[in-house]
Amino acid sequence: MAVIHQTTLQPTKLELLTEWLPAREWYTGTEARPVKAGGFRLDDPAGEVGIEIMVVTDGEGDAAVTYLAPMTYRSGPVAGAEHALIGTMEHGVLGKRWVHDATHDPVFVTQLYALLTGRAQAQAQSETGVPDPTVAVSPIPAQDADDVEVVRVTEGADHTDVVVRAPGAAAPLTVRVRRVLRAGTVPAADGAGRVVAEWLLPDGTTARGEFAVVLTDAGQG
């Protein structure tokens, strides 16, 4: 179970994202000024990696865009994932932490797959040991999720596709992580898994939409 420390971060997560977001293919703004708008956490069973699915809103008024920025926090860098490093920060309790784009971190991918198969539960973003009941999951048939292999990760105009292979699975599957969040969802294809959650809009109201979806062979989702 992840322990949420009430402590200082230098730089802050939002400061790291301010520098990182403009270089993303799916970022549509000109000068990032992200504001936290929600999210949730997943637990690393080994207790080594912090996993946060953060939502930020950037821009003002009708031009505001909401982005999904899943991040992992580690005591060292992910080997071979230098391109996915968002930055480092000094944690008031844990010391230096390496912050990665979680879609390139195998621990996050494994736990996202576990969430999509009903083997993991979304946790509150800022509380220790408290499930987040606002996160809804349409699960896919459960398979062994303890050691998912990441086949490849590709970026799109508004998403990141993570192709994974579970032990014993007949074929890989693609999990599409929505980077640009939009309120509302379209019907999922039969058997397709998805994660739906909520975030705050700039006017203080709440929106819900799809955070991640398992694509079918036909590429729906």
Residue 219 counted as domain residue: no
**pLDDT of 91 above 60:** yes
Residue 218 has a pLDDT of 41
Residue 179 counted as domain residue: yes
Show the domain range for 67. 9-214
CB 35 within 8 A of CB 59: no
Interval 137-171: pLDDT, tens = 999 876 656 678 999 999 999 999 999 998 877 88
Residue 29 counted as domain residue: yes
As a whole number, mean pLDDT of residues 73-92 equals 91
Residue 3 counted as domain residue: no
Interval 43-61: pLDDT, tens = 999 999 999 999 999 988 8
Residue 83 has a pLDDT of 93
Which residue, among 39, 18, 27, 29, has the nearest Cα to 212 in the 3D structure?
39
Residue 203 has a pLDDT of 87
3-state secondary structure of 16: helix
User: What DSSP character marks residue 65?
Assistant: E
Residue 4 counted as domain residue: no
Residue 74 counted as domain residue: yes
Percent of the chain with pLDDT over 70: 87
Confidence of residue 190 (pLDDT cuts 50, 70, 90): low
Residue 221 counted as domain residue: no
Confidence of residue 87 (pLDDT cuts 50, 70, 90): very high
**pLDDT of 186 above 70:** no
**pLDDT of 198 above 70:** yes
Bond before 77 cis per omega within 30 degrees: no
The pair phi, psi for residue 197, each rounded to 5°, is -145, -175
Residue 1 counted as domain residue: no
Residue 65 has a pLDDT of 95
Distance CA 103, CA 68 (A): 11
- Total domains, the chain: 1
**pLDDT of 7 above 70:** no
Residue 128 has a pLDDT of 77
